[in-house]
Every structure is written in structure tokens, then in C-alpha cells.
Amino acid sequence: MTQDTSLRFREFKMPDVGEGLTEAEILKWYVQPGDTVTDGQVVCEVETAKAAVELPIPYDGVVHELRFEEGTTVDVGTSIITIDVAPGSGDAAPAAAAPVVETPAETPAETPAEEAEPKGRTPVLVGYGVAETSTKRRARKGTPAVPEQAPAAAAIQAEMNGHGVVAGQTRPLAKPPVRKLAKDLGIDLATVTPTGPDGVITREDVHAAAAPAAAPAPVLAEPALAAQPAPAPVVAGARETRIPIKGVRKATAAAMVGSAFTAPHVTEFITLDVTRTMKLVDELKADKDMAGLRVNPLLLIAKALLVAIKRNPAVNAAWDEAAQEIVQKHYVNLGIAAATPRGLIVPNIKDAHDKTLPELAQALGELVSTAREGKTTPAAMQGGTVTITNVGVFGVDTGTPILNPGESAILAVGAIKLQPWVHKGKVKPRQVTTLALSFDHRLVDGELGSKVLADVAAILEQPKRLITWA
């Protein structure tokens, strides 16, 4: 019967892994038709506009069909894989969608099954119903249409994506990435107290459940560095190569254009002597309380910026055009621009203002390592308030950084070089760098921006101010 078939064959839809993202590209399938899968097993890796994310399947069964090939961009809410949760119970196949009524103008072999007009649309993760054209590629000939889901199947799908639960079941509500996180940390979701909307378990809930555990976490194999996208084939003698704009590059371009032409940017510069800061870095590296932590100039620059924001809190704000309000932030989510194989991303350290120096060092180390491995989650890149970009690692003196959308300021750090400098009335070789602060002139005037930049420079020239000013 149709209802029994719909319950036997589960359609796993592309979830919204980034709170509002509308599509994702399937980078790699880890399973093939006929493979057995278990609840929580990663079946594919997808790339959104923000990051690469592994998707775990939320139930046991056998892979019946992969709906799309690797490299296909799929809309959120579109079925990407079919799982037979009751293999061996019969030869039934997933219920077929309503037949397409052809017109003389249509060519049957060229009409994708997805273009059939749905007779009943069910709620999906973004909007209501699946768009008529759900991918950027034409479906392969002979690809079966995505079946309409019976009410029971729709309820199962809602539960799978963390937005509902099947009647009579007590399965905890959580999105696939959160389920994978819990599995990696060895946390039983049934023991986690949910704080999300409608009782959905969030990443923060899982981390909170894992925090009290005294036993050390299991040692996991270090993931390989994220591979760079394969370059477009070069034709011998060609003078140009065209590369598709997608993924992180597409999102970065849109964000930078939007920021540059929305927020009036002002950039100020200051050159300073950081010799004392460099000496403090060396001392901290030898400090037993900092053993095993990443200690470098960026750590103290980040701490200096946090102190400067505490002294000038009005700089930590956002412009709300719709409400015609300036939103003053009483917390600092410190963004760190990171160059990755997939492009520039800006993950942030949540509540950086509350962290001690060792805690800040640990958070910076984890942020950088995760970014290099290509495992930064979309949630880690949301909610930033101010950002640091360290162009000095490339030997560049400084730059005019563009604001991260929704933020009021960004600090660019130049290369630290040994240069002649007047110190105590004499010219001596000193460690010198140049800082650049870009800010949104709608809510940060020249006086406020200058004070913030001057405070950062003063702290780095005399690091003892980290104590006296904090």
C-alpha cells in the first residue's frame, strides 16, 4: 500500500545547516546504493555558502537511491537520498509522484521529473514547498520523480530535520549536524536538556552536556586538510580560464559588495613600536600556565582590542536600517579572518570579552585549526561583532579592510619588522608594525574610531596596560 511504502522508504532532504541558507553543493558521497547505514552515520559532505558540512543520516536501513551526483547544487528541502528502512520486506518501490500531463510543446525525454507540478506541497526547511526547479543541473534521463510524502512520512521528515516528532516516539529533536556532534562527543541525546525552539537540541546544549565529563575525550584521527577545488581544465593555447563562482567565493563576494556599498567606510592607520609586546610573547611561551597553548602576537593584539572596546563600548554596535536603530552589543564575538583552501571565512570567538588570556589562547588555537581543516561550521561564523584580519602573515605592511556585514569595525594587523626607531632619544632597531582600523561611519565617528585605534596601539607599546586598563 502507498502509506506502507512511504513509511518504508525514507527521503532524506537537504537540511538548512546554516540557519537561512537556501542551497548546498554535494561535494562527496560516502555511500552507494545497497550500502547499509546506521543512525548517525555520515552519508555525504556538502558545501554551503559558508562552509563544508558532513551530513549524518538519522535512521537505520539500506541505501535505495542517491538522488543527485557529486557536484550538483541542490535547494534546501529537496530529497537527496532514499533509505529503505525495512529491507527484505518485499519488492515495493517508493511511491511515484503524480504523472506529468504532457503538452505538444514538451519533449518527454528532455523534461526533468522535478518540473512536474506538485499536487500537494508540504512544509520544508526554508519557505513552503520545494521550488519547481530544485537544482542547477538538468536531471538525468530516467531519473524517477521525487515522491510526494504521505502525512506520516512528512511528519517523519520534519522530525528528521529537528522540527517535529513522530507520534508515539520519544526521539530527541536535533538537526543532523547536531546529532553527529553528539555522536563524536559520546553524548546520548536523550540525556541532553534542549534549549532551542520547540524543544530542539542545539550545539550549545550538546557542548554543555559534554562539559562536566571528567573522562578525556577519545582521540580521533586528525582530518586531512580540505582539498582545494579542482581547477578548470586548461585547453592548450587558451588565453583565459573561466571558473564557476559558487560556495564560499560566491558568498564572500556578495557580502563584500553589500558591505562596501552599504556602510560608509573610514580607515585610520597607526605605526607603533611593539618590541615590548614581542618580549611578552616570548615570556608567555615559557610560562607553565600557557603550556600547550598557541601563544603569538595575534593573541595579545586580540586582547588589546578587547580592552580597547571595553574602554570605548560604543564601537561595538550594529546599524539596523529596517528599525532605524543603533544596536549596542554588550558582548564581543571576536571574528578572526582565516584564509582556507575554500576561500576566506570569518569564524568568531563567542563572548571573547569574558575569557582569560589562557582561555582566549585556547579558543584562537581551536578556531585556526578547525578553519585549516575545512571543518568550520556555519554557526561559528554567525553573530560576530568586530573582526581582526592579520595580513602581516603575508609580509604585507597593512591594508584597508572591508567590514564584515553587520559589524562596525575591523582591525588589520601588518607585518612586524625590525626597523630603525627613535627610542629614549636614540635611533635603535625596534620591532615595528602598522595597524589599520576600518569602521562604519554611520555609527562610529572619527573621535571614537581614533580612540579605539590609539588605545590598541598604546597597549601594544606598553603591554602592562592590559592589567592597569583592564
| 82 φ/ψ angles, rounded to the nearest 5 degrees | -110, 130
Within 13 Å of residue 29, how many CA atoms lie on the same side as its CB? 16
In three-state secondary structure terms, 463 is coil
Contacts of 131 by beta carbon, 8 Å cutoff, 6+ apart: 75
Q: Of 163, 330, 423, 441, which residue is the catalytic one?
A: 441
Question: Which single residue is written with the C-alpha cell 592548450?
Answer: 236
- Rounded Cα distance, 280 and 285, in Å: 9
Q: Is 441 a catalytic residue?
A: yes
Contacts of 366 by beta carbon, 8 Å cutoff, 6+ apart: none
- Rounded Cα distance, 16 and 131, in Å: 15
| 41 φ/ψ angles, rounded to the nearest 5 degrees | -75, 135
C-alpha cell at 338: 582565516
C-alpha cell at 399: 591594508
- Rounded Cα distance, 466 and 454, in Å: 14
Question: Residue 193 to residues 49, 185, 197, 201, 211: CA-CA distances in angstroms?
Answer: 30, 16, 12, 7, 13
Task: Give the length of the chain.
Answer: 470
Please tell me what DSSP assigns to residue 162: T
Q: Report the catalytic residues.
A: 441
